Structure formats: C-alpha cells, structure tokens
C-alpha cells in the first residue's frame, strides 16, 4: 500500500527527494526527534509529505482500504477538507482544513488521532516529546473548537489521560502506565 500511495502522489506532481542523506526526512539525519518516514516526497524543498507503514505506527487502526466512509457519526478517518469536523485557518491564516478543491485526502479523525498519540506516547520512549507535542496541540485545538471533538469518544483510559493533560495536573503517562483496574 505504501508504494501505491507513493506512486499516486508522484503522479500528482509531488517531487521525489533529491537531497539524499542531507534531507531532514532521511532516516540517516541525526539527531532525529521524529520517527523517520518509510518514504517521502517534497511539496517544496522544506515541506514534505511523509509516508509511514501503517503497521509500524497505527497497527491497531483499521486500514484506509477497508474504511472508505468518512460520513459516519464517529468515523476513524475524515476528509482533510471536512468543514464539519475541522476548523478553518486561524485569524492569521495558519492551520485548519485543506481546500476542498484539492484531491481528497483522508486523515485520522481527531478522536482516533488522540488515541494513536496516546498509544505511541506509551510505546515509544525515543519520541515521547514528539507525541506529547501533538497531544498538547490537540488539547489547545479542541479547547478552541469544542464542536469538532467529543472526548467521550475516547476509551476511558485515554479520556482520563487526556483530561490530566488538559487540566495540567499531571502527565498522561501517570494514567496510561497505571494498571487498567486502577483507572
């Protein structure tokens, strides 16, 4: 599936990397503060689309190939242009959903992304700060956009860990590393 995604993006005029080991997305780039993608293409020199094997990062999730619906009440994946589930850019034009006239792009729904970051935070000591930064951004994002995320969609342990993060009264790992019967 990764090779197929790469070929589709390449045909859509995303450029293959020509920077070799000097590219920040190269697995040989050190120090690495983020997981190295299995493949990547460049939109511009400094902006990349990174592709990962799902089994390495999101093995617990349904695959994109078997979850084509993005209109369910609680989907695993949503369109990156979905105006009902993602806000527009902030007041200075940063972030937000992508334009709907681009190729359809599916991304994890907010609740699934929180769940994935929690599991990766727990599993990966090397990249914990990376996954924590995503969770902190999401906490800020959902506080500003309350209608796009219902933390009741999370599993109880993930909801408790997210509540701890949002309150600032501890670390999500305090909850995630507690035996489930005590949560």
Locate the domains of the chain by residue range: 1-52, 60-182
Residue 126 pairs in a beta bridge with none
Residue 21 exposure: Cα atoms within 13 Å on the Cβ side: 3
What are 119-140's pLDDT values in tens digits?
A: 999 888 888 999 999 899 888 8
**Tens digits of per-residue pLDDT, 70-92?**
556 777 888 888 877 777 666 56
d(CA 10, CA 53): 17
pLDDT of residue 181: 46
Q: Look up the pTM and report it.
A: 0.77
- Give yes or no for residue 151 having a pLDDT over 70: yes
């Amino acid at each position: 599936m990764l090779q197929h995604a790469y070929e589709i993006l390449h045909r859509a005029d995303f450029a293959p990397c020509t920077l070799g080991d000097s590219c920040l997305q190269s697995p040989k780039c050190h120090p690495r503060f983020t997981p190295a993608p299995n493949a990547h293409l460049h939109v511009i020199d400094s902006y990349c689309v990174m592709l990962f094997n799902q089994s390495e990062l999101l093995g617990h999730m349904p695959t994109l190939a078997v979850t084509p619906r993005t209109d369910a009440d609680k989907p695993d994946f949503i369109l990156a242009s979905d105006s009902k589930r993602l806000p527009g850019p902030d007041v200075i034009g940063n972030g937000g959903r992508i334009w709907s006239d681009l190729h359809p792009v599916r991304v994890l729904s907010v609740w699934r992304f929180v769940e994935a970051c929690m599991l990766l935070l727990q599993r990966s000591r090397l990249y914990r700060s990376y996954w924590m930064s995503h969770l902190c951004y999401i906490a800020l994002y959902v506080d500003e956009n309350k209608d796009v995320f219902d933390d009741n969609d999370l599993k109880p342990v993930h909801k408790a860990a997210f509540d701890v993060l949002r309150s600032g009264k501890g670390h999500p790992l305090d909850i995630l590393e507690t035996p489930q019967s005590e949560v």
